[in-house]
Structure 1
Amino acid sequence: MSFNIGLSGLYAANKQLDVTGNNIANVATTGFKSSRAEFSDVYSASKLGVGSKTVGNGVRLAAVSQQFGQGDINNTGNVLDMGIQGQGFFVLSDNGSLSYTRAGAFQTNKDNYVVTSDGIRLQGYAADANGKIINGVLTDLKIDTSALAPKSTTLVDQGINLNSSADDITATFDPADTSTYTKTFPTKVYDSQGNEHVMDQYYVKTGQNSWSTYTLIDGRNPQDPTSTAPLSGTITFNPDGSVKAMTGSESYPTPDTSFEVKNNVFVLQGWVPAAKDASGAWVSNGSQGSASGIRLDMTSTTSYNTETARLSQSQDGYATGILSSLSIDSTGVMFASFSNQQSRAIGQVAIASFANEQGLEQMGGTRWKETFASGIPGIDAPKTGTLGGITSNALEASNVNLTQELVELIKAQSNYQANAKTISTQSTIMQTIIQMT
């Protein structure tokens, strides 16, 4: 019996050495989770149970359980390197077969899909053309490198103060004569082909709390590039400096193409970009202007006794953009930045969690598969519920504690020697008995 007990001890110590050696071998493996050998004692039992004087039959390997503790997050400088800070696994798809990993060293393949080093695709949620994430449906994440289509300007939002103490001007407005207007503000606007134009707004103080405004695009009338006649409007203010009323010109060329006013917003109806023909004459540059016109939001306009100035300004148009950089936030949203200063979401990384991580089946490559024991995965966006967050430009290191593993080596070696001594002692006793016969 002692031989068998000693043999079981040798086997257990050998397995402990194997597990410890595997941990040490993977100390530099990204996303690796250390394991530990768990043992249980063995007793012979009859149908009615184990007797009170039964001697044990040795030891057996009960399980090799993985320790899913957090590994260190180390910066790498590669934007597609991602580490999970907290609970969860990246979801991978190999032709529809899902697996899970903590190793976030990703790259793009020739088709711009985000993949592991062995070509397995990262899963997540796609984004629509407006950058809205489409939640609920997993898909292969892809970095769209196509140009961002231009957008014509439809809204100019600005905060302007018109000096209430400025001198009144009675001269006829002439954009070439600075004495005929109080201030001018240029704004870049874009047509539907991404061409840049300059919209000039001129402000003229005509009386107490009363101002006139004139608008030109590229120095031409927005609806008729052959004319330099501006679209005009008026703004009157309350004694407290807030807008009282606004009116738009309906004198040129017809009322349906006027500088209309709606809720303190000048609406420059369907403007047409201007260009010069071969003879140098100004002509309409096609129909790529904004069909709905440009809304000039004057809601924030004031008239206080301080310098006439534009305090804030934004417009929603932009030229064609080329992908210039990529960033990933803590919720896994991938943002593409373009050469036209625009950015939009192009996808979101998904992560999975399991009720019983110990039930996952190891499949090599620092990956796991779902099993009945693990339960089905709960897949969602990072930082949802108990799911961890994403750290971009970084990787999660192995959680192996090398000092502890070296100590485990010493303990396993001692166990092996002690169990070998049990067998050696039993052999000596057997030799003594044989010599007695």
Structure 2
Amino acid sequence: MSFYTSLTGLKNSQTELGVIAHNIANSETNGFKKSTVAFADVIASSNTSDPRMAVGVGSSVESITQNFALGPIEQTGSALDVAINGDGFFTTQSSLTGQTYYTRNGGFTVDPAGYVTDGGTNRLQGFPVDSTGTPTSTTPADIQIPAVNGAGAEFAGVTIAGDGNIVASYADGSTTTVAKIALATFPTPTGLKQVGSSNWQVTGISGAAQYGNPSEGSYGSLLSGAIERSNVDIAEELVGLITAQRNFQANAKAIDTATQIAQTVINLRT
């Protein structure tokens, strides 16, 4: 019995080491959120068992939970780099599959067709606006910057305001508010599914996305020319790494001790 009990401890320590290694490997990944492991004890008992005689038979991984605390904000100076100072996620949609993603990585670019993208095929979603910058719909859509304005002047640059308005400037000196960035929140963000590249997808646990405007209600404001880095604390992860290693060694020692006891019993019988 002690062999299998200690074996569960070894497996759990190995899982924790894997999670910590993943955190450390992504310490420089923009928008990355670290994870932590929670364990639970396993008890061998039944409804008719005396609770005073319950025997522990090891432990199991209860959950691997993401930590959505705000990461450090780094100033980049790039007009299309934007960080969320508070709650919310950027929403992007794949131009190839139509799949919707949510991210905290605000490193955006403009593709040749004028769409604001994450540098790949995922297009940033926002609310269409009128001439005053007021949203005319609550349904997010692709954000596209016109190559020329109504007067025929060519696109010259773009800025993003703290309230999410994307303002395009043109060669004739005029400006046009193209769209307002839509932020999404979730009833249970820890239930979001990680899909890589600092992207998440909605699940039944996270609940449906609730969209709103930056700087309104519970939605965070936007910081233009900045980007949110990983919220991994290397010092904290290294301490956790040492702890997980010690736990692994302790469980391995318990197995070694059980082996010695078993060998002693065998020798007595022979």
* Interval of TM-score (by shorter of Structure 1 and Structure 2): over 0.9
Structure 1 residues 152-180: Cα deviation after superposition (integer angstroms, max 9, x where no partner): xxxxxxxxxxxxxxxxxxxxxxxxxxxxx
Q: Please say if 1:88 is aligned against 2:88.
A: yes
Cα drift, residue 401 of structure 1: 0.4
Tell me how far apart the structure 2 counterparts of residues 148 and 396 of structure 1 sit (CA, whole Å): 35
* Selected match of 1:378 from 210, 217, 223: 210
For residue 399 of structure 1, what is the aligned residue in structure 2?
231
Q: Please say if 1:355 is aligned against 2:187.
A: yes
For residue 19 of structure 1, what is the aligned residue in structure 2?
19
Amino acid at match of 2:116: V
Secondary structure in structure 2 of the residue aligned to 1:124: strand
1:168-207 residue pairs with structure 2 within 5 A? none
Q: Check conservation: 1:44, 1:50, Cα contact below 8 A.
A: no
Q: Check conservation: 2:87, 2:220, Cα contact below 8 A.
A: yes
Cα drift, residue 117 of structure 1: 2.3
Cα drift, residue 135 of structure 1: 2.9
1:321-360 residue pairs with structure 2 within 5 A? 321-360=153-192
Q: Check conservation: 2:85, 2:220, Cα contact below 8 A.
A: yes
Q: 1:83 to 1:131 in 2, by over 3 A?
A: closer
1:217-256 residue pairs with structure 2 within 5 A? none
1:314-325 residue pairs with structure 2 within 5 A? 321-325=153-157
* Selected match of 1:434 from 255, 263, 266: 266
Secondary structure in structure 1 of the residue aligned to 2:51: coil
1:24-423 residue pairs with structure 2 within 5 A? 24-48=24-48, 51-94=51-94, 95-128=97-130, 132-149=134-151, 321-423=153-255
Q: Percent identity?
A: 36
Q: Check conservation: 2:184, 2:212, Cα contact below 8 A.
A: yes
Cα drift, residue 373 of structure 1: 1.1
Secondary structure in structure 2 of the residue aligned to 1:37: strand
For residue 425 of structure 1, what is the aligned residue in structure 2?
257
Tell me how far apart the structure 2 counterparts of residues 48 and 78 of structure 1 sit (CA, whole Å): 67
For residue 3 of structure 2, what is the aligned residue in structure 1?
3
Cα drift, residue 130 of structure 1: 6.8
TM-score w.r.t. length of structure 2: 0.94
Structure 1 residues 24-56: Cα deviation after superposition (integer angstroms, max 9, x where no partner): 000000000000011011001213466212220
Q: Check conservation: 1:35, 1:67, Cα contact below 8 A.
A: yes
User: Aligned Cα RMSD in Å?
Assistant: 1.6
After the TM superposition, which of the residue ranges 46-55 and 126-135 deviates more from structure 2?
126-135
Tell me how far apart the structure 2 counterparts of residues 403 and 382 of structure 1 sit (CA, whole Å): 33
Bigger Rg, structure 1 or 2: 1
After the TM superposition, which of the residue ranges 44-53 and 375-384 deviates more from structure 2?
44-53
Q: Check conservation: 1:132, 1:345, Cα contact below 8 A.
A: no
Tell me how far apart the structure 2 counterparts of residues 49 and 129 of structure 1 sit (CA, whole Å): 73
Tell me how far apart the structure 1 counterparts of residues 144 and 70 of structure 2 sit (CA, whole Å): 28
Structure 1 residues 137-157: Cα deviation after superposition (integer angstroms, max 9, x where no partner): 2110111121342xxxxxxxx
Count of aligned pairs between the two proteins: 267
Tell me how far apart the structure 1 counterparts of residues 167 and 120 of structure 2 sit (CA, whole Å): 25
Amino acid at match of 2:45: A
Tell me how far apart the structure 2 counterparts of residues 81 and 50 of structure 1 sit (CA, whole Å): 62
Tell me how far apart the structure 1 counterparts of residues 194 and 48 of structure 2 sit (CA, whole Å): 38
Secondary structure in structure 1 of the residue aligned to 2:44: coil
Cα drift, residue 364 of structure 1: 1.4
Cα drift, residue 362 of structure 1: 1.2
Secondary structure in structure 2 of the residue aligned to 1:325: strand
Q: 1:49 to 1:142 in 2, by over 3 A?
A: farther
Give ranges in structure 2 of 5+ residues lacking alignment.
Answer: none
Tell me how far apart the structure 2 counterparts of residues 125 and 16 of structure 1 sit (CA, whole Å): 41
Tell me how far apart the structure 1 counterparts of residues 31 and 50 of structure 2 sit (CA, whole Å): 44
Q: Check conservation: 2:45, 2:55, Cα contact below 8 A.
A: no
Cα drift, residue 108 of structure 1: 1.5
Tell me how far apart the structure 2 counterparts of residues 131 and 394 of structure 1 sit (CA, whole Å): 22
Tell me how far apart the structure 2 counterparts of residues 4 and 396 of structure 1 sit (CA, whole Å): 44
Secondary structure in structure 1 of the residue aligned to 2:214: coil
Tell me how far apart the structure 2 counterparts of residues 128 and 83 of structure 1 sit (CA, whole Å): 24
Q: Check conservation: 2:81, 2:107, Cα contact below 8 A.
A: yes
Secondary structure in structure 2 of the residue aligned to 1:363: strand
Amino acid at match of 2:30: T
For residue 152 of structure 1, what is the aligned residue in structure 2?
none
Cα drift, residue 363 of structure 1: 1.3
TM-score w.r.t. length of structure 1: 0.59
Structure 1 residues 226-246: Cα deviation after superposition (integer angstroms, max 9, x where no partner): xxxxxxxxxxxxxxxxxxxxx
Structure 1 residues 68-117: Cα deviation after superposition (integer angstroms, max 9, x where no partner): 00001111121111111100000111243211111111112221111112
Structure 1 residues 283-323: Cα deviation after superposition (integer angstroms, max 9, x where no partner): xxxxxxxxxxxxxxxxxxxxxxxxxxxxxxxxxxxxx6443
Cα drift, residue 9 of structure 1: 0.6
Cα drift, residue 340 of structure 1: 3.2
Q: 1:76 to 1:388 in 2, by over 3 A?
A: same
Structure 1 residues 7-33: Cα deviation after superposition (integer angstroms, max 9, x where no partner): 011001111100100000000000000
